[in-house]
A and B are shown apart, each in its own frame.
Chain A
Amino acid sequence: MHLIGLGWMDYTIMALYVAFVLGIGQALRKYMKSSNDFFLSGRSIPTWVTGLAFISANLGALELVGMAASGAKYGIATAHFYWVGAIPAMVFLAVFMMPFYYGSKARSVPEYLKLRFDERVRCLNSISFAVMTVFASGISMNALAKLLNQLLGWNYDVSLWICSGVVLLYVMKGGLTSAIYTEVLQFFMIVLGFAPVVYLGLRDVGGWGALKANLAQVAQHPATLALNDKAFQADAWTSAWKPLFGGAASNPMGVDIFAMVFGLGFVLSFGYWCTNFLVVQRAMAAKNMSAARRTPLIGAIPKMLLPVLVILPGMIAASLALTEKGGYRLPPVLVKDSAAMVAVGIVKSSPADAPAAVEAVTKAVGLKMNAAKVSAILAAKAGLTDDQIKARLQDAVAENDYDGVILSLVKKYCPTGLLGLALTALLASFMSGMAGNVTAFNTVWTYDLYQAYFVKNKGDSHYLMMGKCITVVGILLSIACAYFARNYSNAMDVIQLVFGFVNAPLFATFLMGMFWARATGTGAFLGLLGGMTTSALFHACTLATGNVPGIKGGYLAVVRFFPSEMAQNFWLASFAFAACLFLTVSISLVTRRTKTDGELEGLVYSMTPTKVEEDKVWIMRPAVLGSILLAGCVILNIIFF
């Protein structure tokens, strides 16, 4: 990807955004009087704000970049993450689980677990959540720094540290409220920054009909765009369900319908949206119980429509690459400088017509190459300078950098001005991802680890101070994780894997905790541990075809091959969930309950009297609104069947 030229207009927009974000932090400083204000926004945020923050906290780098990447790789089937995954989970959270989170007066998700079960479960959850959220933050920041480096030529380290510094400043000053406000700001920036890109892209391609026709060709020969080695039926990119029914071999994702519906739709999605404190924290900041229940539902409305903004660009990119409209091609993976130097050396020293030379060059570069183009370079090498050889080698790379898709579209369609807006939207989403994760992290650390185990009985101002200090630590840890994350290309697959390890068993624990009074602390604790162990073991013993045993799994032994990494992830989640469920139930039945019925009131379904709906307007009742949303999802699924 070549550097993009920014005009003064673009820099001005970026600077304006940063100024506003810092200004919000500053303006909120005087309202941060207690730890409740800092970590929970004093539970006073209007519902439309918490609703938008709820989905916006999740709409970080990963969503934007990863969804466009998946849109190019898999087509409309990516929408399953939204229409089968997120929306049903959000409705379930709002209607069934929020009363326990909000009503129990727990200040965090781990604290709910402590009230419902015991300290061990809380400890396990808070530690695993803390680690996971810091990782997510790091991955977000790594993507940002990489982007600024590739696109604007800014130094990776400088970008990383400066952006982290900005986030640190506004979170330290305004706490959760700062994070929530900037998340809502970010939401509008993303919608308003990318809508024109999607509009222009769709118009350029010739509308949905032409897009569908092009993608039909892509589906039948994905290898021409280096998307996939197999071939699929014509509607594989534009039909969300039909290719699934044919089994794992007939869709580019390589998953079967059970893995998709149960693994992704139930286990992973519910595991994330219903138990992840990052999003639940925003609902907990609402004014009262009905506002808290409405928060995920209000968030679900824009969430349903987000695929148009985030997935469609990927599909548009695939279509453009097929027709090579305006010379567009899917961005290739960048050749590392060290590898390029070695390869240039091999080119210069090999005889022009040795077939082994093409292989040697390919091996040196370390990526899939277009053999014909490499041969051409070897043939022409006498008349080429080193730099020219390097450029042609880069051009001959036949592996796609999917994470670069959304940016390549921004580069293609945005004149300076709009370019600044789109880039600022990206900047906003990355920074917001870090802010959200850090605020969740500092709450869990202060209440569930520090106050619970280390320093128990100090005054509130002590914990407020701790919260601010740990924000710094959280940012530093995120930066460390960013450097670690530098080694992976499609962030989405990795995140699903990590979430699978931790989340899949977790939802089983909450499900049992909230709906089965007989579930005991020991059962929950061992069930969780067992679920996580199952995740790890499953990963260690299975592998996706085409992968090498190691970080992708299968390092103990390969008991089973899966058609794709995604299939492996979804099955991993299903097994972990089942293991946790089984262990929690069986161990609970043989251990004694430590909580009386009275103690469980407000924490378990059977011990909580159902309240009369306090909303006078029937359409605003959670159950009604939830049903309408689910119906909307079904309609969307039918449209793109």
Chain B
Amino acid sequence: MTLDIRWPIGLLFSIVGLMLSLYGIFTRASTELYERSLGININFWWGTILVVFGVCMLIPAWRDSKKKT
């Protein structure tokens, strides 16, 4: 067979999401930064959503790889 695409997708978005949400937490006091996004700490919230998405990709991929072995 070939590389299961859910691995790179899941990994990329989990990593990026994690980075964004951590960055969001570290910069949460910066009103100037989030003035653009209407005062919402979009890095944190969207980063979290990305992590959820990434995990949703990784879980079935992990389960399928277990099934094969």
Interface residues of A (CB under 8 A from B): 9, 12-13, 16-17, 20, 23-24, 27-28, 31, 41-42, 44-46, 49, 177, 181, 184-185, 188, 192, 196, 200, 203-204, 412-418, 421
Contacts and interface: CB of A to CB of B under 8 A. Distances in A.
Contacts of A13: 16, 19
B47 to A, nearest CB: 8
Given A192-B53, A418-B20, 12 more contacts: A24-B3, A28-B2, A185-B9, A188-B9, A200-B38, A204-B38, A415-B43, A416-B33, A417-B20, A417-B42, A421-B16, A421-B20
A196 B8 contact: no
B10 to A, nearest CB: 10
A43 to B, nearest CB: 11
Interface in B24-40: 24, 27, 33-34, 36-38, 40
Nearest to B12: A20
Contact of B43 (A23, A44, A188, A417): A417
Given A181-B8, A184-B5, A415 B38 contact: no
B13 A192 contact: yes
Given A12-B19, A20-B8, A415-B33, A31 B2 contact: yes
A423 to B, nearest CB: 13
B23 interface: yes
A474 B49 CA distance: 38
Contacts of A192: 13, 46, 49-50, 53
B36 A415 contact: yes
Closest 6 CB pairs of A and B: A417-B43, A415-B33, A31-B2, A20-B12, A417-B23, A181-B5
B19 to A, nearest CB: 7
A16 B13 contact: no
Question: Interface of chain A, helix or strand or loop or mixed?
Answer: helix
Contacts of A16: 12, 15-16
Contacts of A203: 38
Contacts of B43: 415, 417-418
A415 B5 contact: no
Contacts of B53: 188, 192
B37 A200 contact: yes
A493 B9 CA distance: 34
B68 to A, nearest CB: 14
Given A9-B19, A200-B38, A417 B3 contact: no
Nearest to B53: A192
Contacts of A415: 33-34, 36-37, 42-43
Contacts of A28: 2-3
Contact of A196 (B2, B13, B46): B46
Contacts of A196: 37, 42, 46
A11 to B, nearest CB: 12
Given A181-B8, A192-B53, A196-B42, A414 B16 contact: no
Contact of A417 (B1, B2, B24): B24
B8 to A, nearest CB: 6
Interface in B51-69: 53
B49 to A, nearest CB: 8
Nearest to B20: A417
B36 A27 contact: no
Contacts of B1: 44
A185 B13 CA distance: 10
